[in-house]
Structure 1
Amino acid sequence: MKLIGSVTSPFVRKVRVVLAEKKLECVFELENVWSPETTIAASNPLGKVPCLVMEDGSTMYDSRVIAEYLDTLTPVCKLLPANSRDRANVKVWEALADGVLDAAVLAYLERTWRPEELRSQAWTERQLGKVRAGLNVMSVNLGEQPFCMGIHYTLADVALGCTLGWLAFRFPDIDWRGDYPNLARLFDKLSERQSFKDTVPR
């Protein structure tokens, strides 16, 4: 298998963490989708990463789809429960974490890529409002549990950790550590895992 992605994308990081936790061999091919020379459309018509290229040349995209598929390949470190309700709850956590990222990425692009005279503060604040609301719900749902789903480490924690890591990387002005110490405690614990150490965005 080959994973196409970048070292700064939190969605790519999620897949890389899953690969590491599952101890799966995979070639990592760097791709800058913003470059005029990018060839990502040949693998993913949406022009996005991550993109997983299979042994037969077929491709799979969207981090949620890829992560769920990878979890089926080996029983090592099962990240998605077999129980349908628990499994759905993990996927809701992942959807929430990804949704916070979607909004944060839009705000980041507005702040940094759009010409200053065209930037919309109202648009940016709308996206950051979603980020703040998502963080609040994450904190409430986590409570005092050691992991998102209680005592078990799951894909929910992978998604949460990648989201918080990217916010720390791109939005140091968002004080989620101060506002939500329970999220900070979980993030610090996740950051000690080798899979997270090896994929820190830089």
Structure 2
Amino acid sequence: MKLIGSLTSPFVRKVRIVMAEKKLECQLVLEDVWANDEVQKFNPLGQVPCLVMEGQDSISGAVFDSRTIVEYLDTLSPVGKLIPGSGRERCEVRTWEALADGVLDAAVLVRMERVWVHRKDGERSQAWIDRQMGKVHAGLQAMEQGLGDKPWCSGSHFSLADIAVGCCLGWLSFRFPELDWRTPCPQLARHFEKLSGRPSFQDTVPQG
């Protein structure tokens, strides 16, 4: 398999961490989706991450969207099961992932509104930025309350919920260094520090 992605995308990082935790081998192919359209050969949406199956060279041999990819990867090896098989536990883990990804979606929209070169300064909307940042803050508070003093986001062990939250917090620290989320969210800060000590997180710190 090969994973098309970048070293800055939190969604690519989520997939890479899952692969590391599952001890799955995969070739990482770096792609700048803003500089070329090569990834559209496999993902018509032109987004990363995109997982291409071994020996495949077309859209029919690819899996895209990080949530779909990690769910597939979790089935490939019994090592370190990250998503419960069914029931309320599975729903809880996927809800944590949706929350973390939703915070990222809002933060990405803020970043694009601020820095996208094809939008002139007079065309940038502070009202839009404020609306998206409201989602970021609300999402972080929901994570803080949901985590509380528990050792893990969901259940009694490390799961995809923790990976998604860790990738979210790591990207916010990377792209929004001025955002002090640690002070109002001390439990999240504690959890992030713990997650950051895992080799899978250390080996995938955002770069660029």
Greater displacement, 80-89 / 60-69: 80-89
Equivalent positions of 1:30-45 (< 5 A) are: 30-35=30-35, 37-45=36-44
1:175 aligns with 2:184: no
TM-score, length-scaled by structure 1: 0.97
1:28 aligns with 2:32: no
Give the match's secondary structure for 2:158. Answer: coil
Give the match's secondary structure for 2:182. Answer: helix
Give the match's secondary structure for 1:178. Answer: coil
Structure 1 spans left out of the alignment, 5+ residues: none
1:64 aligns with 2:67: yes
Equivalent positions of 1:43-192 (< 5 A) are: 43-57=42-56, 58-113=61-116, 114-192=119-197
Aligned to 2:16: 16
Greater displacement, 74-83 / 176-185: 74-83
Offset at 1:82? 2.2
- Is this contact kept in 1: 2:89–2:155, CA < 8 A? no
Equivalents in 2 of 1:165, 1:158: separation in Å?
A: 10
Q: Which amino acid aligns with 1:73?
A: L
- Is this contact kept in 2: 1:31–1:38, CA < 8 A? no
- Is this contact kept in 1: 2:5–2:31, CA < 8 A? yes
Structure 2 spans left out of the alignment, 5+ residues: none
- Is this contact kept in 1: 2:149–2:187, CA < 8 A? yes
Cα deviation code 1:15-68 (max 9, x no counterpart): 000000000000000000000x33111110000000000024100000000001
* Identical positions, percent: 63
Q: Which amino acid aligns with 1:152?
A: H
Q: Which amino acid aligns with 1:43?
A: F
Offset at 1:83? 3.6
TM-score, length-scaled by structure 2: 0.95
Aligned to 1:4: 4
Equivalents in 1 of 2:44, 2:85: separation in Å?
A: 32
Offset at 1:151? 2.3
Q: Which amino acid aligns with 2:48?
A: V
